[in-house]
Amino acid sequence: MRREVEIVLENTNQKVRITPGLSLMELTGIFNIKLEHQVLGAMVNNQLKELDYEIFTPKTIRFIDITHPAGMRMYQRSLFFLLHKAVGDILPGCKVRIEHSVSKGFYCEIDGFEQPLDLPLVFSICDKMREVVAADIPFRRDKILTTDAVKLFEDLGYTEQAKLFDTRPKLYTSIYYLGDLPGYFFGNLVPSTGYLKVFDLVKYYQGMLLRIPKRSKPDEVEDVVIQNKMFDIFQEYKDWTHILGVGNVVAINEQVEQGNASELIKVSEALHEKKVAYIADKIHSLGDKVKVILISGPSSSGKTTFAKRLAVQLRVNGIRPYTISLDNYFVDRDRTPRDENGDFDFEALEALDIEYFNSDLLRLLNGETVELPKFSFEKGARFFDNTLMRIDPNGMIIIEGIHALNPKLTPLIPSDKKFKIYVSALTSMSYDGINRIPTTDNRLIRRIVRDYRYRGYNALQTIARWESVRRGEDRNIFPYQEEADEMFNSALLFEFGLLKSYVEPLLQEVPPNRPEFDEADRLLKFLYYFNTISDSEVPPTSIIREFLGGSAFSYS
């Protein structure tokens, strides 16, 4: 008789004994596991597992649904595979390419189809997706020799995946199947297509927009938010990568292996400098009209270094830049708003003294000398240390902060006196056309490195705060992206290979007994595919130096 094993069910706060070999799916039935939405998978000893995972040893289990970040990623990956199959069924020999996240969905194009996509074709692909969902076809996983995986994808004409496998020093590779269609994904999928009832596919620019469920209301798809400027900046980055021949991870790794990492760094930095100079020239072309430059962007986007590089380029154009820190305009601690958990909400607009800030701004623009405030975060109070500022006739004020594009920050400043810039690391690259690299992962990895080097936080602490940071971005930053006069993409083609050696040791320190372990493990697997790049040739003015150290700029 087989000995029973003990498991802990965190959802129901139970400690029970079960027969070895039961699957997670079977456990949901036996113990009547009910979540607010359909169970998609489970955290088993703080690692994400699919519902066919079988239990043979003691485990702690927490079932998750689509409202969990890992559950949403499972759903999205599965949708990508579903779309991949539908495109192949409707257009044999063609392949979908997931380009980037925009308009609260995913912009996709079709490789091998030379004609413009029209509405009837997009409708046909969407109908095929719904047909496959109705058939409730299982996503089947099979572990095969990596050499066999290479041959399998080469025979299908999927050269990017084949090359990716060829660079992996692993004996076996897990391949998913949807019907007889193989696919490879960096992470888990839902059990079957029947789980994917909420989605839509619409015509968007030259391609399609795959619409996904809302995190807060998963029974509804996200509203399409028009983001023309965001789309343009993604396309600009895509064009750059295609011109350089480094549109995916395999191509970048090949450049590194061929000894061209130095050239990759030089070209990437030159592209940044060219864009910064272009923005400075555009501001200069507006003459004396513009007096305030507002720079916003999400966490770890490189806003501060961008602002400093822009200031240098403005000086080249004969403009004297003056910088004001919004951090010095926080209200005193007893007036700081609180969030839904009762904690101080320092990211809320109301955490700033908007009236006082605008008063100083107007006085400066009127040519007055102003004593700028300082703010003590230790005491939670404003103070003054005789820091005076007066703007020269050829001067401009640079204001950088998360609320900079919010019209409520500068309501007393006429619109024609303001120039607004949005900065973010907008990665438009994938491993193989299907497995995209999320921009949020780019920023999270940067932040982990920076928090450790400059703020005394370990990777566990940074990961634990990340969802809260992202919620703040959703409220305070992203709604105002399209307010920008210009956008700057701070992503660098070489940075994942560069950051790899810095962040891997930090991620490896996240203990398995913490919920953040799965995210750390996911990021480690994500970085595994990048060849390491040395930072020896990264210039001191690079945006990435804001996170690594060695910058020519002061951030105090």
- Token pair for residue 353? 């003294």
Closest CA to 144 of 164, 178, 171, 167: 171
* Whether the Cβ atoms of residue 352 and residue 403 lie closer than 8 Å to each other: yes
Q: Which CATH superfamily is domain 70-211 in?
A: Threonyl-trna Synthetase; Chain A, domain 2 (3.30.980.10)
CA distances from 224 to 105, 206, 471, 548 (A): 8, 16, 19, 37
In the chain, CATH 3.30.980.10 covers 70-211
- Token pair for residue 469? 């940071």
Reduced to 3 states (helix: H, G, I; strand: E, B; else coil), residue 447 is helix
In the chain, CATH 3.10.20.30 covers 5-64
* Whether the Cβ atoms of residue 231 and residue 205 lie closer than 8 Å to each other: yes
* Whether the Cβ atoms of residue 461 and residue 451 lie closer than 8 Å to each other: yes
* 179-225 pLDDT, tens digit each: 999 999 989 999 999 999 999 999 999 999 999 999 889 999 999 98
Phi, psi of 200 (to 5 degrees): -155, 160
Helix axes 249-257, 159-166, angle to 10 degrees: 50
CATH code reported for the domain at 5-64: 3.10.20.30
Q: Which CATH class is domain 228-548?
A: alpha beta
Helix axes 249-257, 261-285, angle to 10 degrees: 120
* Whether the Cβ atoms of residue 226 and residue 103 lie closer than 8 Å to each other: yes
The pTM is what?
Answer: 0.92
Phi, psi of 63 (to 5 degrees): -75, 145
CA distances from 81 to 133, 378, 504, 517 (A): 12, 50, 29, 26
Regions in the chain scoring below 50 on pLDDT: 1
* Rounded Cα–Cα distance for residues 30 and 255 (Å): 53
Letter string b/e over residues 61-74, b meaning 16 or more CB atoms within 10 A of that residue's CB: bbbbbbbbbbbbbb
pLDDT at position 425 is 92
pLDDT at position 2 is 62
In the chain, CATH 3.40.50.300 covers 228-548
CA distances from 153 to 146, 175, 438 (A): 11, 10, 24
